[in-house]
Amino acid sequence: MKDIVLKSKLEMAKTLYANGVSLYYISLATGLSWRVLMTELTFIASHENIRQKANAHVHKL
């Protein structure tokens, strides 16, 4: 159950961040610590960059 709640909060954080909401307000809205937000959003951003580069490489072929 705890994992579901955390995943939901992270999805909400990702959506808010993508829409330009500051990390301060995301932290307030989700109740997640600054450290958790930075770790997870950095991981998500790096994963998205890797995926976009892979997709761009496939489209070039």
Q: Is 4 exposed, middle or buried (0-12, 13-18, 19+ CB in 10 A)?
A: exposed
- In the prediction, which pLDDT does 27 show? 92
- Give residues with Cβ within 8 angstroms of 9, minimum separation 6: 30, 31, 32
Q: Considering the entire predicted model, what is its pTM?
A: 0.65
Domain extents in the chain? 2-60
Q: Does domain 2-60 match CATH 1.10.10?
A: yes
Q: pLDDT tens digit string along 41-50? A: 787 777 776 7
Q: What mean pLDDT is predicted for residues 4-12?
A: 91
DSSP code string of 22-37: -HHHHHHHH---HHHH
For residue 12, is pLDDT > 70?
A: yes
- Confidence bin at 54 (pLDDT 50/70/90): confident
